[in-house]
Amino acid sequence: MTSFRRPASGAKLAVAATTAAAALAALAGATLAQAQGSTADEIAKYRQMLAEGNPAELWEAAGEELWKKPAGPKNVSLEQCDLGKGPGVTKGAYTELPRYFKDAGKVMDLEQRLAWCRVTLQGLTKDEAMKNPFASSGKPSDIERLVSYLTAESRGVKMNVQLTHPEEQRTYALGQKMFFYRGGAYDFACATCHAVDGQRIRLQDLPNLLTEKGAQAAYTTWPAYRVSQGEVRTMQHRLYDCLRQQRFPEAAYGSDVITALTMFLAKNANGGTYDGPAMKR
Ligand code: HEC
48 exposure class (CB count in 10 Å sphere: 0-12, 13-18, 19+): exposed
Separation of alpha carbons 231 and 166, rounded Å = 37
Q: Is 262 in the pocket of ligand 1 (CB under 6 A)?
A: no
Model confidence over 67-110: pLDDT tens digits? 999 999 999 999 999 999 999 999 999 999 999 999 999 999 99
Separation of alpha carbons 266 and 262, rounded Å = 6
Q: Is 201 in the pocket of ligand 1 (CB under 6 A)?
A: yes
Q: Is 239 in the pocket of ligand 1 (CB under 6 A)?
A: yes
> Measured in angstroms, how far is the CA atom of residue 122 from the centroid of ligand 1?
35
Pocket test for ligand 1, best of 206, 244, 262 (most atoms within 8 A of CB): 206
Model confidence over 218-267: pLDDT tens digits? 999 999 999 888 899 999 999 999 999 899 988 889 999 999 999 999 99
| Amino acid at residue number 97 | L
Separation of alpha carbons 190 and 209, rounded Å = 9
- Tell me what the pLDDT averaged over the chain comes to: 86
Model confidence over 256-270: pLDDT tens digits? 999 999 999 999 999
> Measured in angstroms, how far is the CA atom of residue 206 from the centroid of ligand 1?
7
CA atoms within 13 A on the CB side of 177: 9
Instruction: Specify whether 242 is catalytic.
Output: yes
Q: What is the pTM of this model?
A: 0.85
Cα-based distances in Å from 101 to 129, 165, 197, 258: 18, 10, 35, 17
Confidence category of residue 46, pLDDT binned at 50, 70, 90: low
Ligand 1 atom with the smallest distance to the CA of 202 is 12
Higher per-residue pLDDT: 281 or 9: 281
Higher per-residue pLDDT: 244 or 3: 244
Instruction: Write out the chain in H/E/C secondary structure.
Output: CCEECCCCCCCCCCCCHHHHHHHHHHHHHHHHHHHCCCHHHHHHHHHHHHHHCCCHHHHHHHHHHHHHCCECCCCECCCCCECCCCECCCCCHHHHCCEEECCCCEEECHHHHHHHHHHHCCCCCHHHHCCCCCCECCECCHHHHHHHHHHHCCCCCECCCCCCCHHHHHHHHHHHHHHHCCECCCCECHHHHHCCCCEEECCEEECCCCCHHHHHHHHCCCCEEECCCCEEECHHHHHHHHHHHCCCCCCCCCCHHHHHHHHHHHHHCCCCECCCCEEEC
Using alpha carbons, select from 151, 158, 172, 166 the residue that is nearest to residue 223: 151
Give me the mean pLDDT over the 137-161 stretch. 96
Please list, in sequence order, all residues whose beta carbon lies within 8 angstroms of the beta carbon of residue 221, skipping any fewer than 6 positions away: 1, 3, 275, 276, 278, 280
Q: Is 243 in the pocket of ligand 1 (CB under 6 A)?
A: yes
Q: Is 229 in the pocket of ligand 1 (CB under 6 A)?
A: no
